[in-house]
């Protein structure tokens, strides 16, 4: 099935449509879940992650609302955050998700708006998260109590141990306190040092001993953003140690995980030590890889892998969570409103200027609206084969999915790609660390 080219006029209309849909989903959140972490879009009820709301959706959405010029929505989100977001809570939270969504969101929104209240909240949060790094290896525990600083969860994964340096590093730059960068960088280096000679990491590691309890290597959930941050730590901070770690790691990934099947390129699973292939599995989270390959300058593989992502999407008209690419059968049938394939289309369009990627984006967008739109917002799918909806609208739909769709269709002036580095939740960060007028 050929992709129809997208004219400039059509791209502008699509960008406007994305904005309209963001407004629709935001109104649903505002009407049914205001002050809570998220909206359950089918039951029209609020949902919180923990005992107390941490305003996950408003914080994750804020920079997107500002980038789109949705001033009224951005202002009400910002005031809600400034007045009500309180991290002094006696509850355990997951360090990784809180870092990429909340710390990243607050820092990015501060840089765009210059509102010092957002930086104050970010610093308060950063301080409360610091105890996670007090393990024998320097790799973080998975959970911390925001009030007491007690930690728990010694079995972790490379994404959770190695995806913190952009957010904590920016906090260091913006506050002038090096401790945040130092501890998060130490955790990233410790994760890399535990890798195999190929530069591959496994799926589960004990942060107290540094031993792997699962040596399965891949680029999917639980590992994905570790590799992303090796590259982006170099991009954002000019860190040469990260550059060297990235170059070693990508070589091993291309050697052991890349899997050429006929004319199609995939990245599968292998043992981290031997490089022996263990699974022919690729999915929605793996679909960030074309963007990362493009960022690393490997356009040939980036383009080939994005074509495989398109095949995965077209199998049932929207991508599944995971696929066996050898048999082209669905393994995990849900669709959680994930952004990664759109992110890759945006990066490839930015770097190549090829209209093919906007055409892909339109195909993704039309399916996204057709199958996931609800009266109150957007709903995940339980099964991409039946298109049955699920009562879930994660905050990342605002932070990432809508943002990447918008940036793909909007003119390049909507956001200066070369001046920012997106964290793994698509919050743009930039140096010099002075707030920039948007």
Catalytically active residues, by annotation:
97, 224, 321, 340
Euclidean distance between CA atoms 191 and 162, whole angstroms? 6
Sign of the four-CA dihedral 174, 177, 183, 188: positive
Q: Which two tokens stand for residue 149?
A: 């600083």
Euclidean distance between CA atoms 436 and 416, whole angstroms? 12
Query: Three-class SS string for 108-166?
Result: HHHHHHCCHHHHHHHHHHHHHHHHHHCCCCCCCCCEEECCCCCEECCEECHHHHHCCHH
Q: Which two tokens stand for residue 361?
A: 């984006």
What contacts 24+ positions apart, CB below 8 Å, involve 293-302? 294/344, 294/347, 294/348, 294/351, 295/231, 295/232, 295/235, 295/347, 296/231, 296/246, 296/250, 298/250, 299/351, 299/352, 301/254, 301/258, 301/265, 302/344, 302/347, 302/348, 302/351
């Amino acid at each position: 099935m050929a992709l129809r080219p997208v004219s400039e006029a059509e791209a502008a209309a699509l960008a406007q449509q994305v904005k309209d849909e963001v407004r629709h989903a935001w109104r649903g959140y505002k009407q049914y879940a205001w002050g809570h972490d998220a909206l359950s879009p089918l039951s029209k009820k609020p949902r919180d992650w923990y005992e107390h709301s941490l305003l996950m959706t408003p914080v994750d959405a804020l920079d997107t609302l500002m980038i789109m010029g949705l001033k009224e929505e951005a202002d009400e989100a910002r005031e809600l955050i400034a007045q009500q977001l309180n991290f002094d809570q006696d509850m355990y939270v997951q360090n990784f998700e809180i870092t990429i969504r909340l710390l990243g969101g607050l820092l990015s929104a501060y840089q765009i708006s210059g509102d010092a209240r957002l930086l104050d909240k970010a610093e308060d949060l950063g301080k409360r998260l610091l105890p996670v790094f007090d393990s024998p290896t320097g790799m973080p525990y998975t959970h911390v109590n925001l009030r007491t600083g007690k930690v728990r969860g010694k079995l972790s994964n490379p994404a959770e141990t190695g995806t913190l340096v952009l957010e904590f590093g920016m906090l260091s730059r913006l506050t002038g306190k090096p401790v945040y960068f130092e501890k998060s960088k130490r955790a990233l280096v410790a994760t890399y040092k535990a890798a195999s000679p190929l530069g591959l990491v496994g799926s589960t590691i004990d942060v107290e001993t540094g031993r792997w309890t699962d040596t399965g290597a891949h680029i999917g959930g639980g590992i994905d953003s570790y590799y992303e941050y090796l590259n982006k730590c170099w991009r954002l901070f000019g860190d040469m140690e990260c550059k060297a770690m990235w170059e070693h790691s990508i070589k091993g990934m291309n050697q052991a995980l890349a899997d050429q099947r006929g004319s199609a390129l995939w990245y599968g699973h292998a043992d981290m030590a031997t490089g022996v292939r263990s699974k022919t599995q690729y999915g929605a989270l793996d679909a960030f890889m074309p963007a990362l390959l493009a960022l690393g300058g490997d356009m040939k593989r980036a383009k080939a892998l994005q074509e495989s992502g398109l095949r995965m999407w077209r199998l049932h008209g929207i991508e599944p969570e995971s696929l066996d690419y050898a048999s082209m059968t669905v393994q995990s049938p849900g669709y959680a409103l994930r952004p990664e394939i759109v992110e890759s289309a945006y990066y490839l369009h930015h770097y190549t200027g090829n209209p093919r990627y906007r055409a892909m984006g339109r195909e993704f967008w039309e399916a996204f609206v057709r199958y996931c739109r609800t009266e109150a917002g957007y709903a995940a799918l339980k099964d991409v084969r039946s298109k049955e909806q699920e009562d879930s609208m994660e905050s990342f739909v605002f932070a990432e999915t809508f943002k990447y769709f918008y940036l793909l269709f909007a003119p390049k002036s909507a956001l200066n790609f070369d001046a920012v580095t997106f964290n793994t939740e698509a919050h743009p960060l930039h140096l010099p660390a002075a707030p920039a007028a948007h």
